[in-house]
Amino acid sequence: MSEVFRGSFTQQEPIPEDGIRAALEVLRHGRLHRYNTVPGEMGEAAALEAEFAAFTGARYCLAVASGGYAMGCALRACGVQPGEPVLTNAFTLAPVPGAIAAAGGRPVFVEITEGLVIDFSDLEAKARASGARLLLLSHMRGHVCDMEALTELCARLGLTVIEDCAHTMGAEWRGVASGRHGAVACYSTQTYKHMNSGEGGLLITDDADLAARMVLLSGSYMLYGKHPAAPGAEVFERLRLDIPNVSGRMDNLRAAVLRPQIALLAERRQRWAALYRGMEAGLQGIPGLRLVPRPEEEAYVGSSFQFLLPDWEEPRITALLAACAARGVELKWFGAGEPAAFTSRYVHWRYAGDQSCPQTDRILFGLVDMRLPLTFSEADVAQIARIIRDEALRIGQAEAVEAVAAPQVQ
Ligand SMILES: *Cc1c(COP(=O)(O)O)cnc(C)c1O
């Protein structure tokens, strides 16, 4: 009898007890709106901003309603114009091009490499061809490109970088917190990311002008003085009548849930690293299955795992996915013809127009993805890897037998 995995790929850990207590307190006093404070009180949303700014080392921080909202807000603060091209990775999640479109921009997709990061030569080519001045760089699934090289290239191309750190909250590149290389960084605190408040987003920047614009955009009315991690009033006085209110604030309830989780990010990264390394070890050396090498400079958060099935044909890939699913192992495939659940790719985002990234198409066709929630143990991960190994070998053997049985069929 072959083993079956009984765990859930979508079960997150509970909210820490101090987050629950703080949330109950907010519910009891009833001041959920971030600007609803009594004299001398610093609301939970404001405190969260000050604490997340300190965690990343950024001068300014703004808490908002979602990661998608954070990206749209950053783009608007950078002055994106109707129809303006905005470069982004061809391998990313639907809310990224969605944020560009919502801000009135036009997503221009850039090829990725086998390391699942943005391709610098295509970035240069697309920047020149489109005349773009903005890059929304997505650290998709936590894979970080060479950030020094990227920064230098973007400076040379006159590109302002907005970082999508939905999968790199708590990660580092060469000891620098992910999100500290670009002009602005956007994080998500949605349930499947690294801190969980159901929905939510955070923005950081060192630029006073951008910070003030984002605070005003998020819907601060004339209450921007209640933001401890924002620039001084003089910056707002210059801008406040020119920036539209596009409400997308975070509330005190979600902020209360999040604050105690900041201090847990380092420990969570370690636990995720153990799960990630366990999966990597378990999938090592399977014929036809390629692991994604991780650069030494990257301190990643292994909250998900990807592997490649280069040159596998569709029936073989779907057979592997079905066999694993039957044994409780939920794999997601970026090569599927139809988008499913959270998984889609750039050709499915038809509103962005017809674009072609053949290198990315080839890579994504063989790209398999899975979540590694912290509710998994190292034994769970070892079992999942055994099941994938078993099924990949079995399908490989069946294939070999077929080839011998029917050598005349080409
Ligand atoms: C989840 C996610 C976002 C957006 O976050 P939401 O909070 O769900 O809007 C952005 N980029 C990537 C890569 C994501 O996975």
Instruction: Supply the pLDDT for residue 408.
Output: 53
Length of the chain in residues, anyone?
Answer: 410
- Paired tokens of 297: 């400079």
Share of the chain above pLDDT 90, in %: 95
Q: What is the pLDDT of residue 396?
A: 81
Task: DSSP for 28-47, please give it.
Answer: HH---STT---TTPPPHHHH
Mean pLDDT of 65-76: 98
Q: What is the pLDDT of residues 301-336, one digit of tens each?
A: 999 999 999 989 999 999 999 999 999 999 999 999
Testing ligand 1's pocket by substitution, the residue of 75, 89, 96 carrying the most ligand atoms inside 8 A of its CB is 96
* Over residues 266-283, mean pLDDT: 98
Q: Convert the pLDDT of each residue in 327-385 to its tens digit.
A: 999 999 999 999 998 999 999 999 999 999 999 999 999 999 999 999 999 999 999 99
Q: Please compute the mean of the pLDDT values over residues 9-23 and round it to a whole number.
A: 97
The CATH number given to 17-262 is 3.40.640.10
| Centroid of ligand 1 to alpha carbon of 2 (angstroms) | 36
Pocket around ligand 1 at a 6 A CB cut-off? 66-68, 92-93, 95-96, 138, 140, 164, 166-167, 188, 190, 201
Instruction: Quote the tokens at residue 234.
Output: 């003089």
Q: Distance between CA 310 and CA 185 in Å, rounded?
A: 33
Residue 256 has pLDDT above 70, yes or no: yes
Average pLDDT of the residues of the chain: 96
Residue 191 DSSP symbol: T
Burial class (CB in 10 A: 0-12, 13-18, 19+), 131: exposed
Residue 164 CA to ligand 1 center (angstroms) comes to 8
Measure 118 CA to ligand 1 centroid, in angstroms: 17
Confidence of residue 93 (pLDDT cuts 50, 70, 90): very high
Starting from the edge strand earliest in sequence, which strands make up the sheet with 367-371, in order?
290-291, 304-308, 367-371, 332-333
Grade residue 407 by pLDDT with cuts at 50, 70 and 90.
Answer: low
Those residues whose C-beta lies under 8 Å from the C-beta of residue 324, and which sit 6 or more positions away, are 330, 331, 387, 388, 391
Section 93-120 average pLDDT: 98
> How many Å is the Cα radius of gyration of the chain?
22
Looking at residue 399, its pLDDT comes to 73
402 pLDDT band, cuts 50/70/90, is: confident
CB atoms within 10 A of CB 18: 14
Q: What is the pLDDT of residues 166-187, one digit of tens each?
A: 999 999 999 999 999 999 999 9
Hey, where are the domains in the chain? 17-262, 266-402
What is the arithmetic mean of pLDDT over 268-272? 98
Report residue 178 as tokens: 């992910």
Q: What is the pLDDT of residue 409?
A: 47
Segment 281-291 shows an average pLDDT of 97
> pLDDT class for 69, splitting at 50, 70, 90?
very high
Options 3.30.420.480, 1.10.3720.10, 3.90.1150.10, 3.40.50.150; CATH of 266-402:
3.90.1150.10
Q: How far is the CA of 275 from the centre of ligand 1 (A)?
A: 22
Query: What is the Cβ-side half-sphere exposure of residue 132, based on CA atoms within 13 angstroms?
Result: 27
For ligand 1, atom 5: residue with the closest CA:
67
Per-residue pLDDT, 401: 73
Instruction: Indicate if the pLDDT at residue 210 is higher than 90.
Output: yes
Smallest CA-to-CA distance from 222 within 234, 203, 237 is with 237
The mean per-residue pLDDT over the stretch 56-71 comes to 98
| Cα 53 to ligand 1 centroid, rounded to whole Å | 20
pLDDT band at residue 410 using 50, 70 and 90 as cut-offs: very low
Residue 234 — very low, low, confident or very high, per pLDDT cuts 50/70/90? very high
